[in-house]
Structure 1
Amino acid sequence: MAGQIDNLISVCSFHPEEELDHYCKTCERALCEECIKLDHRDHDWYKLKKVAQDIKDSASDKITEIINQEIPKIESNLKAIAEVEEKNKEAKTEKINRIKHRENELIAAVKVISDSLIKDVTESRFSEGEQHAKSEEDKNIASLQSLVAYYNENKQSLDGVAILRLQEKIRILLSRVRMHDPLRSEDHVDFDEGQIDIHSLERMFGLVVRESSQNLAVDIEGTTLTEQFNFQVTANPITSLSEKSLEQTWVYGRNDKEIKLCNTDGGVVRKFEFGDTVIRGFVRLDNGDIIIADGVNRVLSRWSNKDGDIKTLTNLSPFEPLGVALSHRKELLVGMKDRFNTRRIVQRMAINARVLHTYEYEEGHREWIKYYLFNSPDRVAENFNRDLCVVDSLSRNTGRLLIISEAGKLRVIYEGQNLGRMFKPSDVCCSKNSEIILGDPRNNAVHVLDKDGTFQRFLLTDCSYPSALRLTPNRILMGSENGSVHVFEYEESNQSNDE
């Protein structure tokens, strides 16, 4: 052991093949020949043996100082790290136990369903009264068979009186027995297998969520955009907005009872009020009419800009609309889920609500497993290459962006950057050069991706909880979770048409 340490302290840490045989008084450190040649040529250096006795005491003092001050810090740090690692181990064990417990709960739930189905198969299709009648008939048949057997065995010895009595008994029993069509006894029962949906199982099971430590987060620096103006609309998060003109913007806040047309200082120019409706989103058409996704009544409605009338465009039941957007061909793009949350779809519709295409799932590796594309397709935008960009919520705290080809093939899943907080995108829009712009309210940022879903840069940082986005010529509109709208200048070359 001593020999190993001797070898360790005698060689240079930077040039392991060289010995520490010089001392630099300028830097107060031992050197090798290579160190002198590279960095200490012009310093005051000597052969180590020549100055060793003179600097021995000061070197010993430095070692003692390190032992007394720095080593305890290192040891304390190592102890703290070990304690954290032990806590991590205990926490992971506890989480694994919870996962196992959840597994057992799901297996038990499946067993309950299985037992119920087996009971449905094995139970008689006959009512209690029908079963009682059948039981009585079975007794009569058994009695009849016994009398017939008795007669066959004893007919030679029976006298006339006994035969007449036996005949009467057989006649009565025959009157109580009906002849049935055997086909009526068939029990036409079948088992209609459901689809095994991996995403639904994952949603029921739960998610492993790892929130990044702040000290591991990437440095976030956004593009410098000039804010033209901002205004307050509501106390609720802005979920949808659309620019009518440079001075006026239609805005809706979550759980509000009206869509407002606001000017640049937040003044309400016009408003559309509604009753028992929860708006999941809206889009404005070229003629000024507004298409509304009504989550309560499960319909798409059309509000007339001309006379203020509202009419049902289409009934989506059993699906509930989660959002609505407009494609570049002026088609409606609607994200939906059914009331049991077993089906989640995006539909492309003509402006009259005729369904053109339904996006739901991709085929799995086995025919009986369906790989659904979406968990909760809250927002949809069409890129200029015809891809669909879908904001897909996974849980209350997490989400992702899906990029899907026009034909329905899942191309990319984007799950954010390592910014220290969980990633749950709020809204998406696309520029003319097919860049994808994505709101990230939990990290107060707006991400920019290329058409293939590769992160490019941050468009905005330190922005106040971006909950809704809209691109217009030369501007980007951002709705905030605090109920305000912010309007920024944005280069026209990077713009998409406002739908």
Structure 2
Amino acid sequence: MTWTLIDQENYSIRYRGGDIDDDLLESMSGQIFDLDDISAREANSFQYSEYLVLLSGALSEDECYLMAGKLDFIELVNRQGEKKQKFRIDLNDFCLNNNRIYFTSGGDNSIYYLSPSGSISKLLSTDPLEPGGICNSVDSGFYVSLEDSETDAYTLDSHSRRLVKHLTLTGDGIHEYEFREDGQTRLFTRPYRLCQNNNSDIYVTNSTKHETGEVVIVFARDRLRSVYRGQNLKEDFFPSDIVCDSTCNILVIETSNIHLLSPEGEFLKYLLREKDVTHPLVLSLYKSALWVGTAEGLVKVVKYKGCHDI
């Protein structure tokens, strides 16, 4: 760092040169990108099961854990469809963290973790609330969606509990997201699948009726950012899964399409349409590999090109 003398005799002002940080400059001034440059192209596909694929969790670009309906196990499968490892567990959802599989179980309202050796340990009980979706936190621990089973599914009253809870990896509670800032208006009807982006915003698929839903976006502590309810759909919007990419854009899957949303929840484009993948149900993203499971038991591995690749 050098100092430059402005005027030696009459002024005391000096100038110090600085360094330009390209990343900081871009974060301040913004970035222009062409939506056509964000794309998804099928790399390969395979028939995993005769039943619908219910869960997916990518371990790498080449391997993914899968679970199909009517099966009581999750299985590690590579992108050629070769089955590598199987674990028999009862679960609603799972996430991968520190070489462990953390999973929610509605059978006894608990959260467990599975070690690489195959041993299962109970982390905590959520009783009387049933745990549904679970995802990693970008800060620490994970988030889990919870709901009671005693009150009506879609007509909530003062006894209803529908929330998302932030937990440490040892099971300690950090924060609950149930109401908006006023402490009275509910954030969710029936929260389920969820994810968090690198900006710490939380995205939750929320069922509002039997086959109707939305994506609720929450940031900071209990502050609602926005709600996404689909785009020009012929049928009701019912999101079944959601993931974030490395630039905080959101991929939402529903009956016929995969939607690409901005971090603020603004619709950007359809990433995949029904002509590209029929009846998609679940998805998982690892770097540029997007794993998509369908209602027919088909798994497609899609090459995803996002903003970070432009």
Which category of TM-score, normalised to the shorter sequence, fits these structures? 0.7 to 0.9
Tell me the equivalent position of 2:211.
397
Question: Hey, what's the Cα distance between the residues in 1 that align with 2:233 and 2:306?
Answer: 29
Paired residue type of 1:398 = T
Correspondences of 1:228-243 after superposition (within 5 Å): 228-243=43-58
Q: Contact between 2:40 and 2:305, CA under 8 Å: does it hold in 1? A: no
Question: Hey, what's the Cα distance between the residues in 2 that align with 1:415 and 1:222?
Answer: 25
1:360 aligns with 2:178: yes
1:246 corresponds, among 14, 37, 61, to 61
**Offset from partner CA, 1:23-56 (integer Å, 9 cap, x none):** xxxxxxxxxxxxxxxxxxxxxxxxxxxxxxxxxx
1:337 aligns with 2:147: yes
Change (3 A) 1:260 1:372: same
1:382 aligns with 2:192: no
Tell me, what secondary structure is at the counterpart of 1:361?
Answer: coil
1:282 corresponds, among 85, 90, 94, to 94
Paired residue type of 1:401 = V
1:445 aligns with 2:260: no
* Structure that is richer in strand per residue: 2
1:291 aligns with 2:97: no
Unaligned runs of 5+ in 1: 1-220
Question: Hey, what's the Cα distance between the residues in 1 that align with 2:39 and 2:220?
Answer: 34
Tell me the equivalent position of 2:71.
256
Question: Hey, what's the Cα distance between the residues in 2 that align with 1:246 and 1:347?
Answer: 29
Cα distance, 1:363 vs structure 2: 5.4
Question: Hey, what's the Cα distance between the residues in 2 that align with 1:469 and 1:330?
Answer: 23
| Higher Cα radius of gyration | 1
Return the TM-score normalized by structure 1: 0.51
Tell me, what secondary structure is at the counterpart of 2:40?
Answer: coil
1:483 aligns with 2:301: no
Paired residue type of 2:147 = K
2:288 corresponds, among 474, 482, 487, to 474
Question: Hey, what's the Cα distance between the residues in 2 that align with 1:222 and 1:259?
Answer: 35
2:41 corresponds, among 226, 232, 245, to 226
2:133 corresponds, among 318, 323, 343, to 323
Cα distance, 1:434 vs structure 2: 1.6
What's the % identity of the aligned pairs? 27
Cα distance, 1:429 vs structure 2: 1.0
Cα distance, 1:493 vs structure 2: 4.3
Tell me the equivalent position of 2:85.
270
Stretch of structure 1 that moved more, 244-253 or 294-303: 244-253
Question: Hey, what's the Cα distance between the residues in 2 that align with 1:229 and 1:330?
Answer: 34
**Offset from partner CA, 1:70-122 (integer Å, 9 cap, x none):** xxxxxxxxxxxxxxxxxxxxxxxxxxxxxxxxxxxxxxxxxxxxxxxxxxxxx
Correspondences of 1:41-60 after superposition (within 5 Å): none
Question: Hey, what's the Cα distance between the residues in 1 that align with 2:260 and 2:61?
Answer: 24
Tell me, what secondary structure is at the counterpart of 2:185?
Answer: strand
Question: Hey, what's the Cα distance between the residues in 2 that align with 1:293 and 1:430?
Answer: 21
Q: Contact between 1:379 and 1:390, CA under 8 Å: does it hold in 2? A: yes
Paired residue type of 1:458 = Y
* Structure that is richer in helix per residue: 1
Question: Cα RMSD over matched residues?
Answer: 2.0
Tell me the equivalent position of 1:410.
224
Question: Hey, what's the Cα distance between the residues in 2 that align with 1:402 and 1:260?
Answer: 30
Cα distance, 1:228 vs structure 2: 1.1
Q: Contact between 1:299 and 1:312, CA under 8 Å: does it hold in 2? A: yes
Correspondences of 1:176-215 after superposition (within 5 Å): none
Cα distance, 1:318 vs structure 2: 0.4
Tell me the equivalent position of 1:65.
none
Paired residue type of 2:115 = S
**Offset from partner CA, 1:344-370 (integer Å, 9 cap, x none):** 010011111111110111255xx8xx2
Cα distance, 1:393 vs structure 2: 0.7
Which has the bigger relative contact order, CA under 8 A and spacing at least 6? 2
Q: Contact between 2:61 and 2:289, CA under 8 Å: does it hold in 1? A: no
